[in-house]
Amino acid sequence: MRDGHPQLLTMENNSALLPSMLCAPTREAVSEWLYRHHDVPATDEETQALLRRAIRYNREEDIEVGAQSVQFGLASLAHYIDDPQEVWFVKSPKSFLGASGLKPQQVALFEDLVCAMMVHIRHTAHSQLPEAITQAVIGRPINFQGLGGDDANRQAQGILERAAKRAGFQEVVFQYEPVAAGLDYEATLREEKRVLVVDIGGGTTDCSMLLMGPQWRQRADRENSLLGHSGCRVGGNDLDIALAFKNLMPLLGMAAKPKKASPYRCCRGGTPWRLTTSRRKAIFTVARMVVC
């Protein structure tokens, strides 16, 4: 905040946006990078065990984890594209935080991934400000991706909160993403209105009905203005999948009926399959035709 007005800081390439991506030499490099170069503590038994395994693995594989070993945003994507065989790459780890059946060591890994991104964001922001950054407001969907209901939401928010505190944020609060989006719109209102905010993400769609207007702007507690909210685990990813099946895959031969042959079949597991025509005895090999 500057003179009572919010100010956006630069995250990458003179932009206030940072794509949710990171890369490292190995999966284990992230945990060691946090500990060795940012003094991030391993606060519980699982994160401590993960750190010990990571250091041991990197030593055995002769992998030196330097300050620049973990990259973020578009830089991580470019690094991965340059050498996909030797770079471990993750995109949108938040999508996995509410997954059911995660083992404790998997939860610890996701916590380290989120913590690494928060450390990077905090250090980048701190380099542009004279004061320390100790508070964070984190946006969250009404329902995280996953089938676990409230348990999935608690698991995901717990990972985010622990990661933020390990990254150096002393005070951490959460705001529903559609509510946060509505606050920006509220700044343009001159009278009270009932506002339906629809937030369509990659894996979730969240809806909130809010009272908004000048009389609500300065109130720290907005509970009375939140008339209702709901969310479902359907989003842009589902649109992409449906679009691919209905419009793209038929152009590549799905369900086609070639002459003197049975219809092509989809291959889901990445296993190559062959089609032999009796006319020329030619063998056509389609490798790794993965639909989903």
Six-digit token pair at 255? Answer: 């369900």
Mean pLDDT calculated for residue range 166-174:
94
Q: Do the beta carbons of residue 178 and residue 197 sit within 8 Å? A: yes
Mean pLDDT calculated for residue range 160-186:
89
Q: Is the pLDDT of residue 283 over 80?
A: no
DSSP 188: T
> What DSSP string runs through 58-78?
HHHTT----TTSSEEHHHHHH
Mean pLDDT calculated for residue range 135-152:
84
Q: Is the pLDDT of residue 263 over 80?
A: no
Q: Is the pLDDT of residue 282 over 50?
A: no
Question: In this predicted model, what pLDDT tens digit does every residue of 7-51 receive, in sequence order?
Answer: 889 999 999 999 999 999 999 999 999 999 999 999 889 999 999
Residue 258: predicted pLDDT: 67
Q: Is the pLDDT of residue 268 over 60?
A: no
Report residue 192: phi and psi, to 5°: -70, 135
Residue 160: predicted pLDDT: 97
Cα distance between residue 89 and residue 77, in whole Å = 8
Mean pLDDT calculated for residue range 211-238:
83
pTM of the predicted model as reported, rounded to 2 decimal places? 0.76
Question: In this predicted model, what pLDDT tens digit does every residue of 63-114 receive, in sequence order?
Answer: 999 999 999 999 999 999 999 999 999 998 888 899 888 999 999 999 999 9
DSSP 203: S
pLDDT averaged over every residue in the chain: 84
Q: Do the beta carbons of residue 133 and residue 123 sit within 8 Å? A: no
Q: Is the pLDDT of residue 173 over 70?
A: yes
Strands 71-72, 88-91: pairing kind: unpaired
> What DSSP string runs through 125-157?
HHTT-SS---EEEEEE-SS-SSS-THHHHHHHH
Could you tell me which residues are beta bridge partners of residue 12?
A: 15
Q: Which residues of 46-59 are buried (b: 16+ CB within 10 A; e: fewer)?
A: bbeebbeebbebbe
Least confident of 106-110, 112-116, 166-170, 261-265: 261-265
